[in-house]
Chains A and B, each alone.
Chain A
Amino acid sequence: MGIKSFSRARAIHIMLVYTGGCNGCDIEIVNAVLSPRFDAEQYKVFLTWNPREADVLVVTGPVTHLNRKPLEAIYEAIPEPKLVVAAGSCALMGGVYKNIHGDIPSEEIEGPVENVIPVAAKVPGCAVRPQDVLAGVVSLLPTLLNAD
């Protein structure tokens, strides 16, 4: 393992972008990283709110119409290598908001996140459990470490 991978494995900055879900996933993720119970910092995962600092972008919510452009702008601001974790069933497949009434999709929802930006890992759950979010970020490690 080179110094590049070594250092990457020891400092992962994640940024959270909420795109209009029900708030449950956001709080669980902030909770996962901030609260002393789960304390993501012991696994070298740091929460940041500056896209220039981030390595991993955690996206929750089904990407509503007004949120599409901000999400793209933030994604573009992150320097390579960057990876996206879609957390929660809304981010994965639009949740209950996207597939209304059988085949008629909702016009409000631009998501799932995959339609907007490339997604590297998917964390299921409604709402996601903090453990799962950490597992999702950790599952990205091999990709992140071997990136240029």
Chain B
Amino acid sequence: MFKSTILYSVIAVILTVLVCFIISTLLPGIERKYVHARIQQRIGPPVTSPGIMAPIKFLFKENVEVSSPVPGLYKALPIVCFIVVLCVLIALTPYSFAIPALSSLVAIVGFLKVEEICYVLMGALSKSVMSVKMPFPDVVKGAAHLNTTRSFIEDISARRSLRMITYGSFPLYLALFAPVTAARSIFLQDIVQYQHVHGPFLFTISGGIAAIVFFIGYMIVLNEYPFSIIKAKCDVIEGPYMEYAAKYRSIIFITRGFLMFTLGALFSVLFIGIPPNILSPSILINIVVTLIFVLMMGIFSAFTPVFTNRQLLPSILGATLLGILAIVLGLL
């Protein structure tokens, strides 16, 4: 009996993850075609191109030697990122509520932190051809400052991601802990049960404010414009991802869509109280919530330029204060 329950749960989790994964591959395409392209008055790419076809294409490319001081670690990082996102999604399914260590907010925050640390390592280990290594005679007689240390553009983006760890992702974590104040527990099971009894946390004052903070944090964690300073096109081109080619790049592409879905699912668990479960029709709500998030993010990012520290600090500070307000209101 016990054995069959476990087997049944494992199959349900795998099915849930699979369905979520398939939907998540469509998300970048939806953002690109139905939001960005519509706003920019053009037709845009097919929905499947950015999220599904591009990763498959990269799978069949030659696996080039990456230029990095530690190629092994550098190549392992996208896989780590993917596994981390997978773990977060598994932790959100109702079957894992039986394992309290996995299905608590502390574990989820920990997983997301690993993801952010991966960006720092990626940036620090990538040595792309586009900056210092470009064979161009610029340090020559007559040039200014001949003996400075020379940095790759990825080094800047590694530093920026370090900063984002220290203060950038604050709003998201504050928003994650807002429902805790209502449910008085950090375990997802208790949060979901509390909302089954008292109605969705989203529709309280504290929950409403926390949802806004969550959305800002969502954009920061996804590095979408305007918070995409670690991969701003106007200086660091693609930042940490510069050197990934072939299948590693395809994992990067997939992880991004998957993270979009996972964070959307996280929102529906914490603020609406509906965990993603393939065996219940409520998974449709998860999908709808995720789509709303993607559409909102697309609209927001299409109308904003990239922020530098001058705008980033006040906006993150404002979001953090809002998050604190939400928590205080929840505690009262």
- Taking CB atoms and an 8 Å cut-off, the chain A residues in 63-98 that contact chain B are 66, 69-70, 72-74, 77, 79-81
Least Cβ–Cβ distance between B223 and chain A, in angstroms: 15
Given contacts A11-B53, A50-B237, A52-B243, contact A66 B137 (CB under 8 A): yes
- Chain A contacts for B59, CB-based, 8 A: 7
Contact B249 A52 (CB under 8 A): yes
- Chain B contacts for A44, CB-based, 8 A: 45-46, 49, 53
Least Cβ–Cβ distance between B125 and chain A, in angstroms: 14
Query: Which chain A residue has the least Cβ–Cβ distance from B242?
Result: A50
Total inter-chain residue pairs, C-beta < 8 Å:
96
Contact A42 B129 (CB under 8 A): no
Query: Which chain A residue has the least Cβ–Cβ distance from B61?
Result: A79
Residues of A that sit less than 8 Å from B by CB: 3-4, 6-8, 10-11, 13, 36, 39, 41-42, 44, 46, 49-53, 55, 66, 69-70, 72-74, 77, 79-81
4 A-B pairs with least C-beta separation: A36-B42, A80-B62, A7-B56, A10-B53
Q: How far is the CA of A77 from the CA of B134 in the complex (A)?
A: 11
Q: How far is the CA of A73 from the CA of B233 in the complex (A)?
A: 21
- Chain A contacts for B46, CB-based, 8 A: 10, 44
Contact B40 A73 (CB under 8 A): no
Does B130 interact with chain A (Cβ within 8 Å)?
A: yes
One of A8, A41, A50, A74 near B60 (C-beta < 8 A): A8
Query: Which chain A residue has the least Cβ–Cβ distance from B36?
Result: A41
Least Cβ–Cβ distance between A70 and chain B, in angstroms: 5
- Chain A contacts for B64, CB-based, 8 A: 52, 77, 79
Contact A7 B53 (CB under 8 A): yes
Given contacts A49-B237, A50-B242, A70-B135, contact A42 B130 (CB under 8 A): no
- Chain A contacts for B190, CB-based, 8 A: none
Given contacts A10-B48, A50-B238, contact A42 B43 (CB under 8 A): yes
Does B289 interact with chain A (Cβ within 8 Å)?
A: no
Contact B43 A39 (CB under 8 A): yes
Least Cβ–Cβ distance between B307 and chain A, in angstroms: 20
Does B245 interact with chain A (Cβ within 8 Å)?
A: yes
Contact A73 B133 (CB under 8 A): yes
Given contacts A10-B49, A52-B243, contact A41 B61 (CB under 8 A): no
Query: Which chain B residue has the least Cβ–Cβ distance from A36?
Result: B42
Query: Which chain A residue has the least Cβ–Cβ distance from B62?
Result: A80
- Chain A contacts for B242, CB-based, 8 A: 50, 52
